[in-house]
């Protein structure tokens, strides 16, 4: 593991076209889970100039059964989609929540997939697909996340809060951030560069208005980054292309699942390749990535390592994972082999195992909790009520006991 290096992560705002698509897809997941906790959803969204298109496979009691939509279901879906875009704040000629064209191509889940996933007789619920999933945690921030990504998210969250409150009325929804930090002895010691591109009202690309926008952005950055990271040597690139008035789906088409590194660890850890948004929790792309973050975070929170990567793998239709792998990156106080055994025991005791059913029941994932996760990262968030249960650190004592 390198100790001295420079590393970068990026984030995108809720108004980025791909994130608009993610939020719509997860709003559909939430809608269906609110009707039927056992709903099956794989919803993809495409957004472009004045258009939103849904496609994918579903099964949901009271909404879509036996190949037919329930009365009012189509209208409710469209209402949820438009309300999601309205909440983001798009009321522009090129993309307006009230007037964009909407098309819905959701259809029934494949019976051949269903027979592999559903439990029946002595068969437990199987994984919805094959694949590998990773979880990660490190001690760089209080959220146990990579600092470069944590700060990138928080900068954009502050811009969003100021836009919605009216504190920064010159901002529009689309924005991207990027933070580059220098590490020494494995710890961030300096911000070498920060990039921020934000959509803005007309006129904020020149003169006093441009200066106002850039001064505002620099202040947000200085407020978010901890003391000592910013110096006279920090390089800023604020709206480096100049004018950024056309943004969101009008400026670039958006698709669900195109920001998987933003969603996870900013490139500081491996990614199995599967996106999260638009998928119900029987899909291990989502639920197993959540549970491995849960386990990795508890490992670091327990002081068993400074960095922890966990991988699991699944086969479609098979309930138990094929493998569990732990890497402590040379920072552990216990062996990886001992920790693998402890994690297997603790997950069995607390969750009922790392099966799809064990994960979603043990973490309480069969609830409409996903739209909130679809912007500013699925990890490093504060667990509140039923939201972000995979961010809890309630396994510390159990891990220590299992290793004793």
Q: Could you read off the pLDDT of 184-243 as tens digits, one per residue?
A: 998 999 999 999 999 999 999 999 999 999 999 999 999 999 999 999 999 999 999 999
Phi, psi torsion values for 232, nearest 5 degrees: -65, -15
Q: Give yes or no for a contact between 176 and 147, defined as CB atoms under 8 angstroms apart.
A: no
Please tell me the predicted confidence (pLDDT) of residue 114.
59
Please tell me the predicted confidence (pLDDT) of residue 312.
98
Please tell me the predicted confidence (pLDDT) of residue 121.
56
From 169, 312, 288, 154, select the one nearest 222 (Cα to Cα).
Answer: 154
The enclosing H or E element of 359 equals helix 356-362
pTM of the full predicted structure?
0.95
Average pLDDT of 299-310? 98
Question: What 8-state DSSP symbol labels residue 374?
Answer: G
Domains in the chain, CATH or no CATH each: 5-13+147-248 (3.30.300.10), 17-117 (3.30.300.10), 131-139+258-403 (3.30.300.10)
Average pLDDT of 119-132? 73
Residue 122 clears pLDDT 70, i.e. is over it: no
Q: Where does the pLDDT of residue 119 fall: very low under 50, low under 70, confident under 90, or very high at 90 and above?
A: low
- What percent of the chain has a predicted confidence (pLDDT) above 70? 96
Residue 387 clears pLDDT 80, i.e. is over it: yes
Q: Where does the pLDDT of residue 127 fall: very low under 50, low under 70, confident under 90, or very high at 90 and above?
A: confident
Give me the residues paired with residue 181 across strands: 7, 191
Please tell me the predicted confidence (pLDDT) of residue 62.
87
Phi, psi torsion values for 56, nearest 5 degrees: 145, -170
Q: Where does the pLDDT of residue 349 fall: very low under 50, low under 70, confident under 90, or very high at 90 and above?
A: very high
- Helical H runs in 246-335? 248-251, 260-263, 284-301
Distance of CA 53 to the CA centre of its chain: 21
CA distance 112 to 117: 9
Q: Which residues are catalytic?
A: 16, 18-19, 44, 57, 176, 244, 252-253, 258-259, 279, 283, 285
Q: Give yes or no for a contact between 223 and 158, defined as CB atoms under 8 angstroms apart.
A: yes
The enclosing H or E element of 73 equals helix 73-88
Phi, psi torsion values for 362, nearest 5 degrees: -65, -35
Question: What 8-state DSSP symbol labels residue 373?
Answer: G
Average pLDDT of 338-361? 96
Residue 98 clears pLDDT 90, i.e. is over it: yes
Q: Could you read off the pLDDT of 246-284 as tens digits, one per residue?
A: 999 999 999 999 999 999 999 999 999 999 999 999 999
Summary mean pLDDT of the chain = 95
Q: Where does the pLDDT of residue 128 fall: very low under 50, low under 70, confident under 90, or very high at 90 and above?
A: confident
Average pLDDT of 52-69? 91
Q: Give yes or no for a contact between 162 and 168, defined as CB atoms under 8 angstroms apart.
A: yes
Q: Where does the pLDDT of residue 359 fall: very low under 50, low under 70, confident under 90, or very high at 90 and above?
A: very high
Q: Where does the pLDDT of residue 120 fall: very low under 50, low under 70, confident under 90, or very high at 90 and above?
A: low
């Amino acid at each position: 593991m390198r100790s001295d290096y420079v590393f970068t992560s990026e984030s995108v705002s809720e108004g980025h076209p791909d994130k608009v698509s993610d939020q719509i897809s997860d709003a559909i997941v939430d809608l269906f889970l609110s009707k039927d906790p056992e709903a099956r959803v794989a919803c993809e969204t495409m957004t472009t100039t004045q258009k939103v298109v849904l496609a994918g496979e579903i099964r949901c009691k009271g909404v879509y059964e036996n190949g037919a939509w329930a009365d009012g279901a189509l209208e409710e879906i469209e209402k949820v989609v438009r309300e999601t875009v309205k909440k983001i704040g798009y009321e522009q000629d090129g993309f307006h929540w009230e007037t964009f064209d909407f098309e819905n191509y959701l259809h029934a889940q494949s019976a051949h997939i269903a027979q592999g996933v559903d439990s029946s007789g002595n068969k437990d619920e199987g994984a919805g697909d094959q694949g590998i999933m990773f979880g990660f945690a490190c001690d760089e921030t209080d959220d146990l996340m990579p600092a470069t990504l944590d700060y990138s998210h928080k900068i954009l969250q502050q811009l969003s809060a100021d836009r919605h409150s009216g504190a920064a009325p010159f901002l529009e929804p689309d924005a991207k951030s990027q933070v580059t930090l220098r590490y020494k002895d494995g710890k961030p010691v300096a911000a070498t560069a920060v990039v921020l591109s934000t959509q803005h009202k007309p006129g904020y690309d020149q003169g006093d208005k441009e200066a106002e926008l850039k001064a505002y952005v620099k202040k947000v950055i200085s407020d978010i980054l901890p003391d000592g990271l910013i110096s006279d040597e920090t390089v800023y690139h604020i709206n480096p292309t100049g004018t950024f008035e056309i943004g969101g789906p009008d400026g670039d088409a958006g698709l669900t699942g195109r920001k998987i590194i933003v969603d996870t660890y900013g490139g500081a850890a491996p990614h199995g390749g599967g996106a999260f948004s638009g998928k119900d929790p029987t899909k291990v792309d989502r639920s197993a990535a959540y549970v491995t973050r849960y386990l990795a975070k508890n490992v670091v929170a327990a002081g068993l390592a400074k960095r922890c990567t966990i991988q699991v793998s699944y086969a479609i239709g098979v309930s138990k994972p094929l493998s569990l792998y732990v890497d402590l990156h040379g920072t552990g106080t216990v062996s990886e082999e001992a920790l693998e055994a402890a994690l297997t025991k603790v997950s069995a005791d607390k969750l009922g195992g790392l099966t799809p059913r064990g994960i979603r029941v043990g973490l309480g994932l069969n609830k409409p909790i996903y739209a909130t996760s679809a912007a500013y990262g699925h990890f490093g968030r504060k667990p509140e009520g039923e939201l972000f249960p995979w961010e809890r650190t309630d396994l510390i004592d159990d891990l220590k006991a299992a290793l004793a």
